[in-house]
């Protein structure tokens, strides 16, 4: 029996290699993972406390609409509670958006390379992904606008973009949204927004205030350090939230995730600390790359896309054998690049010395 046509040939998602897998396969004791843009500083200590408080309730379904988290998050974002929709990771919100708004005969427009789940979610619904190449590593908003037609239902803007780390500024985004026809919803995926320091970055919530056709996506997997819990959310007009709720799985934000995220958003000090450390780590790596004359895209996120000018898979395998897990740019649409998550100071040093050894070995082989 064959599965539905739209998923034939769809690739299975390939995550970055896990620490456990690399330790097991290579028999290494010390491994660092800078592959999935996770938080090297863990999560707020308040999270553990919140989990111990619910330890007698694991056998009970959680509250379906996460009322405590909803209230607290709405307060901190200064938005109406009815504007929030939660997901089992923002991945699930992406899926809900595609499920609610796409069907065969419709299209969704996105950049390429960008976060691959927009394309997958589009294909699953039997709709057509229309991919518009980045220009100098950035979303080409003019070309994206040209790609919009009467069949377009969604436009995805990953901001900052994964894997390039580049961003679209407020003015450009606002002009772009103003020119979109009324039948199109725009999804602003801001998974890394808490890391952004550039003050021309869009104030997406103010855009959303006057435009009901915007969905903003955020996650607890990055700066909040809660990737294990799978918790993300969307902010949108209540009517859009209503549509998404129709396709949401019951109890999709589990009890542990509700407790952990509620505790995490009350610890602003932790978030600020991580943001500062990330900037310092970024500087640490960029300064060394500048010294070596290695190119990279300017990043507002917690990762850097680095052009080693060698086959990305080769550099990846070299580093992996040394216990350093990064992401080869090859699978991400940048064949000679590496995407590296900014780690803590020591991890960044380990990565830099691994990369430096690789480059020196290459150079000495050429000069032999
Ligand atoms: C741009 C972007 N959006 C969404 C996600 C998914 O995050 P979550 O863990 O909330 O599903 C990621 C994860 O890497 C991402 O990079």
Residue 21 confidence (pLDDT) above 90: no
Q: Whose CA is nearest to atom 13 of ligand 1?
A: 191
Q: Are residues 304 and 202 in the same domain?
A: no
User: Of 236, 266, 296, at which residue does a domain stop?
Assistant: 266
At 14, is the pLDDT very low, low, confident or very high (cuts 50, 70, 90)?
A: confident
Q: What is the CA angle 120-300-45, rounded to 5?
A: 90
We report the CATH number of the domain holding residue 112 as 3.40.640.10
Q: Whose CA is nearest to atom 2 of ligand 1?
A: 191
State which ligand 1 atom lies nearest to the alpha carbon of 90. 10
Q: Are residues 256 and 273 in the same domain?
A: no
Of 78-82, 141-145, 364-368, where does mean pLDDT reach its minimum?
364-368
d(CA 257, CA 70): 13
State which ligand 1 atom lies nearest to the alpha carbon of 115. 1
Please give, one letter per residue, the 3-state secondary structure of 37-82. Answer: CCCCCCCCCHHHHHHHHCHHHCCCCCCCCCHHHHHHHHHHHCCCHH
Q: Are residues 63 and 32 in the same domain?
A: no
Query: Where in the sequence is the domain holding 303, given as residue range(s)?
Result: 14-42+269-367
Residue 94 confidence (pLDDT) above 70: yes
Q: Are residues 211 and 346 in the same domain?
A: no
> Higher pLDDT residue, 350 or 365?
350
**Cα separations in angstroms, 21 against 26, 33, 256, 340:** 8, 11, 25, 18
In a domain, 9, yes or no: no
In a domain, 3, yes or no: no
Q: Are residues 301 and 316 in the same domain?
A: yes
The Å distance, Cα 97 to ligand 1 centre, comes to 14
We report the CATH number of the domain holding residue 315 as 3.90.1150.10
What are the pocket residues of ligand 1 if the criterion is a CB atom closer than 6 Å to any ligand atom?
Answer: 37, 89-91, 115, 158, 162, 189, 191, 219, 221, 227, 232
The Å distance, Cα 191 to ligand 1 centre, comes to 6
Q: Are residues 252 and 278 in the same domain?
A: no
**Beta strand 295-296 with 303-307: parallel, antiparallel or unpaired?**
antiparallel
In a domain, 320, yes or no: yes
Q: Are residues 319 and 225 in the same domain?
A: no
**Domains contained in the chain, number:** 2
Q: Are residues 159 and 286 in the same domain?
A: no
Q: Whose CA is nearest to atom 15 of ligand 1?
A: 191
d(CA 76, CA 134): 34
User: Of 266, 293, 322, at which residue does a domain stop?
Assistant: 266
CA 306 to chain centre: 18
d(CA 104, CA 354): 47
User: Of 221, 239, 266, at which residue does a domain stop?
Assistant: 266
The Å distance, Cα 188 to ligand 1 centre, comes to 12
Q: Are residues 64 and 179 in the same domain?
A: yes
Residue 368 confidence (pLDDT) above 80: no
In a domain, 22, yes or no: yes
Ligand 1 mutation pick, 117, 219, 257, 304, max ligand atoms within 8 A of CB: 219
Q: Are residues 120 and 215 in the same domain?
A: yes
Residue 29 confidence (pLDDT) above 90: no
Q: What's the whole-number mean pLDDT along residues 52-78?
A: 96
d(CA 130, CA 334): 19
Q: Are residues 52 and 147 in the same domain?
A: yes
Reading the block at residue 290, the tokens are 């500048």
Percent helix, strand and coil across the chain, each rounded to 5? 45, 15, 40
Q: What confidence tens digit (pLDDT) does each residue in 312-360 have? A: 999 999 999 999 999 999 989 999 999 999 999 999 999 999 999 999 9
The Å distance, Cα 96 to ligand 1 centre, comes to 14
Residue 367 confidence (pLDDT) above 70: no
Q: Are residues 67 and 181 in the same domain?
A: yes
Q: Whose CA is nearest to atom 8 of ligand 1?
A: 89
């Amino acid at each position: 029996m064959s599965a539905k046509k739209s998923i034939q040939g769809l690739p299975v998602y390939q995550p970055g290699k896990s620490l456990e897998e690399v330790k097991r396969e290579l028999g290494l004791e010390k491994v660092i993972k800078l592959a999935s843009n996770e938080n090297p500083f863990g999560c707020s200590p308040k999270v553990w406390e919140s989990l111990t408080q619910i330890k007698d309730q694991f056998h009970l379904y959680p509250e379906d609409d996460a009322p405590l988290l909803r209230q607290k998050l709405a307060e901190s974002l200064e938005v109406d509670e009815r504007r929030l929709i939660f997901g089992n990771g923002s991945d699930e919100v992406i899926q809900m958006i595609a499920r609610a708004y796409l069907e065969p005969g419709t299209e969704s427009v996105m950049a390429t390379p960008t976060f691959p789940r927009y394309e997958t979610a589009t294909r699953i619904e039997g709709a057509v992904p229309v991919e518009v190449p980045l220009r100098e590593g950035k979303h080409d908003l003019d070309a994206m606008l040209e790609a919009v037609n009467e069949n377009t239902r969604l436009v995805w803007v990953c901001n900052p973009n994964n894997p390039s780390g580049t961003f679209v500024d407020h003015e450009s985004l606002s002009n772009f949204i103003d020119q979109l026809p009324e039948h199109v919803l725009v999804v602003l995926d801001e998974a890394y927004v808490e890391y952004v320091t550039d003050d021309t970055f869009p104030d997406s919530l103010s855009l959303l205030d006057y435009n009901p056709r915007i969905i903003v996506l955020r996650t607890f997997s990055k700066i909040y350090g809660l990737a294990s819990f799978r918790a993300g959310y969307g902010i949108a007009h209540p009517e859009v939230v209503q549509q998404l709720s129709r396709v949401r799985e019951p109890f999709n934000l589990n009890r542990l995730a509700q407790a952990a995220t509620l505790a995490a958003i009350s610890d602003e000090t932790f978030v600020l600390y991580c943001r500062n450390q990330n900037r310092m780590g970024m500087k640490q790596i960029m300064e060394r790359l500048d010294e070596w004359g290695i190119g990279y895209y300017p990043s507002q996120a917690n990762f850097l896309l680095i052009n080693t000018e060698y086959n990305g898979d080769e550099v990846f395998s070299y580093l992996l054998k040394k216990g350093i897990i990064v992401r080869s740019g090859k699978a991400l649409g940048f064949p000679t690049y590496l995407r590296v998550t900014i780690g803590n100071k020591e991890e960044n040093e380990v990565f830099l010395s691994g990369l430096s050894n690789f480059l020196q070995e290459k150079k000495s082989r050429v000069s032999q």
